[in-house]
Each structure stands twice: as C-alpha cells, then as structure tokens.
Structure 1
C-alpha cells in the first residue's frame, strides 16, 4: 500500500491593519516566510481579510464564509503568529475581533489556541505602545490557552522601515522576526495531532 504524502503542518498568521499593506503585515510575512523555510505551510489573514469579518456576535446562528474560513484555518493550525499594531497602548480592534471569533472553537476537542505555540509581534510608531501591546497579546494568548513563544518582537516603525520585497531596514529586526517563525516551527511538533 502506497502512502500518500502528507501535507506540511500549517502556521496561521493573523495581523495587519485596514487600508493597505502595513508595516505589521510586512513584519508578519517575514516571520511566516521563516516558518516556511522550516518546512511549514503558511496562511496569512491580513488587514483586508480581517476587515471582511463582521463584528463578533456570540448569539449569531450562522457565520459568513470568511468567518468559517478563518476558524477552519486556526482549527487546522500547528502554530499561530499574531501581529498587531499598537493602538492607544493595546492591540487593534480588527485583530481583537478576529481573536474573539475563536470562541467558535470553545467546544472543540482542542478549543481556542490550546497547546499551540503562538509567536507575537507588535508594531508602533514609538516604543511605549510596543511593550503594552506585547503584554496584551501575551495575556490574550494565555486566556485562549496558547503558549506564547519565549521571544516576541517589538518594532518601532518610526525607526524600522519595511520594503515591498520582504526586507527591513534594520537587520536585527529582520533577524528577530525570523526567530519568531523558527520558534513556532520548532515548538509545533510538540503539539499532539488532533
């Protein structure tokens, strides 16, 4: 009997802003590319994807195709990377709304982000919001039963610029984002298959 080749494990990226490709999305793409180099498939839900998600209503009796696709991707993930801009000292509304939608998994065998390694990235125009945004993301991931990776990237976009080719003006920031991708890839095999 010939075995079918199995598909590579999946890392889901969640992050960005509404209104075009942002620094947050570019940072997330660098981290996801690093996970791909480790042999993982990736799926990114950027700002445009999150903008299509209606405000989460826990009483809704049906979900849109976009909501269903998002929840299905996270259900099938072996790891997640969340990137948020720092808005007024915390995560953006579109990122929070997407994470709220994971309530749809509450009754799953593996609810929320349970046992998944989760990489974290915060971008802000200045240093103050990067730290508080990372802290908020860590708290949310813990509440969703996930495991934040040991390293998180806090990026001051006043200093670091991203380009359309997948690069960053600061090589240290680029290396930090790659480290996040490698960490989620290395910790993902510890997750028991469902």
Structure 2
C-alpha cells in the first residue's frame, strides 16, 4: 500500500481497557490495532485512561466535555471499530459500556451509531466463563448499534495468557487470534462509506 499521511488513511478506533494501570485488555487491543496498522490503516486507541475521563453518560445533558466530543468525533470518522472489555461479573465493564452509551450522540447522523461498520471483539477475564458471556454481551450491543461483528472474536483467559509491554503474550496463538481480528476489521472496513453528521 502506498505511503500516505495519517489524515489520508482510513481510521479504525479501538475502545477498551480498565481504569488504572495499562491492563491485559488494553494490551490485547493494542496487538489487534497494530495488525490493523500493518494493513495500512490509521488507528486511535481510547484506553482505560481515556474512558476514565468520560463522565457518566447523561442523555439529557445539553453540552458535552471535550473528551466526550473527541471520542464521538473519532467514531464518526471511523471505518471500523475494535472493542475490548474485561469480563466483570459475567459481562462487559462499566467504563466500556459508558463509552458505548455515549454513541447515542450519533443517533441523528447520516450514519448513526456503528451502522454498517465491521466491529472486532475481544474479552479478557481471569477464567473462561466470563470471556464467553462478555463476548455474547458485546455482540448483542454491537447488533443494537447496527454494527457488524467480525466472524472471529477473541476470548482470552488471563490465568493462562499474560501480556507484556513489548506487544507480546505468553501464548503465540492468542497473538495470532488478536491479529486475525485486526485483519478482519481491515478487510471489511473499505466497504464502509464514511459520513459525518
């Protein structure tokens, strides 16, 4: 693919992580986004630190913070999204759900919510049970937001797989699964017509 400036490249937005230190969830998301970048796309990661700055979504609010506007604007410009959540009590985390709730701001856009976008899904949990239920919850939310979950989703048991700061993991198969998610989002993203409100 020819070398293009960041602004000329289609954008894939990553949403995920936990409040506090960089988490396994955020590291897994970064691996998937790195795979997207290798396919020639620009990426924007909204990790735990970013989501911690988003106030609790209030549908009646008449104004939005700069952090809320930045997040919504990035999703509006995106050709695809990857969502990663830890499994908390059998479902996605509150900060990830709060960020997704904020997409209600796009309800009246020409392309509302995640309409027609490929959406990759990643769930991490300390055990297998919560990974499956978290993926199922994420799929339901993406369908409600009119997006297209990619065929493959990654369920990662962090009892078994650990991530490092260099973009690797103790299980090469998990790294390949995360790269597959990135490639699938990149494969379908060119089909998306990017529109803004």
* TM-score scaled by length of structure 2: 0.95
Structure 2 match to 1:162: 163
5 Å matches for 1:1-194? 7-194=8-195
- In the alignment, the residues of structure 2 paired with residue 51 and residue 193 of structure 1 have an alpha-carbon distance, to the nearest angstrom, of 28
- In the alignment, the residues of structure 1 paired with residue 164 and residue 27 of structure 2 have an alpha-carbon distance, to the nearest angstrom, of 8
Cα deviations across residues 62-121 of structure 1 (Å, max 9, x unaligned)? 000000000000000000000000000000000000000000000000000000000000
- In the alignment, the residues of structure 2 paired with residue 175 and residue 124 of structure 1 have an alpha-carbon distance, to the nearest angstrom, of 18
Paired residues, number: 191
8 Å CA contact 2:77, 2:194 repeated in 1: no
- 1:190 deviates by 1.1
- 1:191 deviates by 1.0
Structure 1: unaligned runs, 5 residues or longer: none
- In the alignment, the residues of structure 2 paired with residue 164 and residue 75 of structure 1 have an alpha-carbon distance, to the nearest angstrom, of 30
8 Å CA contact 2:79, 2:193 repeated in 1: no
Cα deviations across residues 154-176 of structure 1 (Å, max 9, x unaligned)? 00000000000000100000000
Runs of 4+ in 1 over 6 A off after TM superposition: none
SS of residue in 2 equivalent to 1:14? strand
- 1:129 deviates by 0.1
* TM-score scaled by length of structure 1: 0.97
Structure 2: unaligned runs, 5 residues or longer: none
- In the alignment, the residues of structure 1 paired with residue 85 and residue 78 of structure 2 have an alpha-carbon distance, to the nearest angstrom, of 19
8 Å CA contact 2:10, 2:79 repeated in 1: yes
- In the alignment, the residues of structure 2 paired with residue 189 and residue 20 of structure 1 have an alpha-carbon distance, to the nearest angstrom, of 34
